[in-house]
Structures are given as structure tokens and as C-alpha cells.
Structure 1
Amino acid sequence: MPSEQITKSGILIIDPQANMAALVAGMLRGLGRRDIREVNDASQAQQELRRRPFELVIIDDGLVKPDAVEIVRRLRVDAESMNRLAPVIMMSAAPDAARIAAARDAGVTEFLRKPFAANHLKSRLDSIAANPRPFVEGGGYSGPDRRRQERDVGTADRRSPNDPDKA
């Protein structure tokens, strides 16, 4: 294995299936990324997250002991973690609405359903780069702002601090 070249834009891929991690790494290399680290279990993932900062974490939902959602939750609440603010893309072969909601509530930034093509991965990377979401904490949640759209409520519907009926 060639020696790792550490850059400021490293990507950590966490997938229990080594062949899938290698496939995702190949897609990323095709998109021009070079500093890619692959790990295949939760303990390796936690070691890597403590070892160096990553620009992005890609994690598979099939991870166990602890599972992927728990790893993301722990990452987001750990004020000492150098990767706490890193965007996280979760991949899953068969997500249901409850699992997607759990991932979102743990602090996952983007979700990617398997199988996917390199252009799907690129669209998630482009979305993260073009629309960075602020990190928020409160009400038992730590992670990227879960709101994805801004709504113009108009002046007629806006609350007024002087009007008790609209406050």
C-alpha cells in the first residue's frame, strides 16, 4: 500500500465492505480527489477521526457496534473532536424513512441511496460546497442546520413584537 499523503482536503470512507469502500474511493479519485482513507469497522473509524482532520466523512449505514448513526451522533457532540464540524454523507442500500430521519437527527449532512453513480456522489459534494449549513446546537441536537430551504413568509404573515396577536 502506498504511503498516505495527508492534505487539508482528506476524505474518510467508513464501510464494512472493503470492496464498496474501494469503489467509492475510485469514484472520488475520478472526481479529482487524492487524499482518501478507507476503514472497514467502527473502531478503525473512531481511531481515524481522532488521528487527523478530514474535510468530509462518508459512512455506510451497515456499520455495527456502534452503528453508523451512533458514530455520527458521538462525533457531533464531542466538543474536542477535530472532525465535529466535518460534513457527513451516509450511504445505505435500503433506507426507510425512519432510518433517514434518525441519520438526519444524529447530524448527517447528506444521504445517498445505494447503488449510486459517480455523478450522484458529485452532486452531494457540490451541494455541500455550494450550500454550507451552519453548525447548530440545542434541544438535544448538534450538527448541521437541518433546514434546507428558506421561506419568504411575507410581511403580512411576519410576527410583530408589538402585536400580541402575531407574537
Structure 2
Amino acid sequence: MIPRPTSADPEFFRKLKVLVVDDSAEMRRLLAAPLESMGVEQVVEARDGLKGLDAFIEHKPDIIITDGAMQPMDGYEMTQRVRAAGAADGANPDVPILMISGHIERENVVHARDQGVTDYLPKPLSASVLYEAIVAAVSKPIHFVETPGYRGPSPKRHLAARGIDDTAR
């Protein structure tokens, strides 16, 4: 289970296991660097959603940070499969999933949310935004729902924090 942080608790980050999924080795390196500076000692990397799904089951991360657009499996499908996995081999299907993308159009954000993404972060991403997103993802309980064809955070949660007007949905 994810330890709950208290303000800037270095022990929290030291114990955190983070899975970073991105098809760009450079982007994986750029995400791992601030994680390590936060004190995260366990960073697992995968180059696409398929490898990310395998790493999710093998390493049982406390949080997943993924890109959206990858081949052969993108971050959206990987998220949907993680949420549908159930407690596969002890891996937590309710694990917080942060999606990082340069595609910040409303339809992309809504699609990510509909697949079960916990938070959608626009590129370029600063270390402080990443820090705040991690703390928020593990500190603030998110209501999970399960319906035929969907398992994940409540699709009705408010996206205004990311500048997305979801009232038209």
C-alpha cells in the first residue's frame, strides 16, 4: 500500500516505487532525474504500454507515470488494462496513474480520464508540478467506480484544476 506523505516527508519518497513508461529514452531520463532528486530510490522504466503493463505486474509500483502516445500499446490502453487487471499477482489496479502529454486538447484529457488516468499533466513538465501531482495523487483519496466496461477514478471528478471545462460532457 502507498505510504501517505506528510508535507515534504523524505521517507515517503524514499519508499515510493515509481514506474515510468515512455517511448523516448530521453523523456524517461528527464522524468527519472527529478524523481531521484525527490528521494525516490526505486524507478522502474518501460519503453511502451505493453512493457509497462508487464512491469506493473512484475514490480507492483506505487504510482505510474506514463506518456499517452506510444507504440505498440499507448498509455491510454495500458491504463485501461491496469484498471481492468484486478489484483493481478498482488499489483494494485487502483494505483495512481499520471499521464504526461503534449496533447492537451480537451478530447485527449477526457479520453485519458475515461480510461482511468488519475491526473493528466501537460508537457513541458516542471519538477515542482511533478512533485505536487505525486503528492496529490497519493494524498487525496479518489473515488473509484466499477461499471461494465470501466474501472477507475470517477469520471465525474472535476478537471478545472488542469484548465479543462468538462461541463459540456
TM range (shorter): 0.7 to 0.9
Q: What is the match of residue 106 of structure 1?
A: 115
Contact 1:11 1:35 in 2 (8 A): yes
5+ unaligned residues in a row in structure 2: which ranges? 1-13, 159-169
TM-score, normalising length: structure 2: 0.78
Q: What is the match of residue 95 of structure 2?
A: 86
Q: 1:122 Cα deviation (Å)? A: 0.9
**Dislocated runs of 4+, deviation >4 Å:** none
1:58 maps onto 2:65 in alignment: yes
Contact 2:15 2:40 in 1 (8 A): no
Q: What is the match of residue 166 of structure 2?
A: none
Contact 1:91 1:114 in 2 (8 A): yes
Aligned-residue sequence identity (percent) comes to 29
Name the amino acid aligned to 1:88.
I
Counterpart of 1:45 (choices 42, 52, 77) is 52
Q: What is the match of residue 33 of structure 1?
A: 40
Determine helix, strand or coil for the equivalent of 2:120.
Answer: strand
Counterpart of 1:138 (choices 121, 135, 147) is 147
The structure carrying a bigger helix percent of its residues is 2
Contact 1:13 1:21 in 2 (8 A): yes
5+ unaligned residues in a row in structure 1: which ranges? 1-6, 150-167
Determine helix, strand or coil for the equivalent of 2:136.
Answer: helix
Number of residues of Structure 1 aligned to a counterpart in Structure 2: 143
Contact 1:8 1:55 in 2 (8 A): no
Select the structure of larger CA radius of gyration: 1
Cα distance in 2 for residues equivalent to 1:128 and 1:43 = 23
**CA deviation vs aligned residue, 1:129-148 (integer Å, no higher than 9, x gap):** 33121321125321022344
**CA deviation vs aligned residue, 1:103-156 (integer Å, no higher than 9, x gap):** 00000001110001100101111211331213211253210223446xxxxxxx
